[in-house]
Amino acid sequence: MEWQRREGRHSLPWQGTRDPYRIWLSEVMLQQTRVETVIRYYERFLARWPSVADLAVASVDEVLALWSGLGYYARGRNVHRAAREVRDRFGGEFPRRFEDLATLPGIGRSTAAAIAVFASGERRAILDGNVRRVLARHAAIEGDPSTSAAIARFWEIAEARLPERGIERYTQGMMDLGAGVCLARNPRCPLCPVRADCVARAESRIDELPGKRRRAERPRRQVSMLVVLAHGEVLLEKRPPTGIWGGMWSLPEIDAGAKPAAALETRWGIRAAEVRALEPFEHAFTHFTLEVQPWRIEAHGTRAIARDKGATWMSLQDLGGAALPSPVRRLLASIA
């Protein structure tokens, strides 16, 4: 705690507040995302929706549009759902207690604990990736850190080390220690305030801990994306509410190997005047890698109206405000 007071982070935009809405927003955005990336999204969200009541009346399209580029879009959908549940179940008052927080969509044990700590000083342990790395090295927790046995051990150690007082500074200190000193690669051990009794340092096992996760080979999937253009507009399709890029607007997809022009006319009644293959690309998801072959298609004659209810034409000049997945946005930016 003393180290955090002297050396820790104190100027992040979500620090210095007890507002559980702001703390929640930052904690969800910080899941698997770097602080530097989160800051601009966090500030944009608060400028657009300064309270949970404001966010609750937004549409999921609006939320996903502002979330676009932050990744892990299920978080954006859960943010929208949670805001509405706070409105409906808690009368618009964002909860502060761990037990209430843990019932909201997208809030797990560690996130609920972090919000409760910073919003009300509740004495709870957290276990984000940075804290887990600190504990793995300092307490020499071995093996695959993703197993149920290892996770149970992490929680046991994390809870046993909680201070009786100063939980906010202690929690922030653990986060700061993992983020700035106990790094995954090239940790800055000489700067560590707990180096004297760190088991990994004493036994020269810093590179071994935490242990490696057992990862199955990531499968690969192939798909073709259709960039259908007409009069400065592009055809977009609404994705299903669940699954990858759920609820976002994206380019129409067909099976890899299918003929783009024939698929376009069969599915949407749009004739192709010109079809050209674009540079293929890959996009890595958590559990698989998507191989994409994009096709640029100029629609024949006047702009056709898409038959599908979940499809729309959008001006290439208006794509900045649309809820598009990052790779789709980059693809369209390259041809706009």
Catalytic residues: 27
DSSP-assigned states of every residue in 205-232: -TTT-SPPP--PPPPEEEEEEEEEEETT
Assess contact for 245 and 323: CB atoms under 8 A. Answer: no
Assess contact for 243 and 234: CB atoms under 8 A. Answer: no
Assess contact for 293 and 221: CB atoms under 8 A. Answer: no
Question: How many Å is the maximal CA-CA distance in the chain?
Answer: 75
d(CA 118, CA 110): 12
- CA angle, residues 28, 30, 36, in degrees to nearest 5: 145
Assess contact for 115 and 28: CB atoms under 8 A. Answer: no
Inter-helix orientation angle 35-48/20-29, to 10°: 140
d(CA 277, CA 61): 30
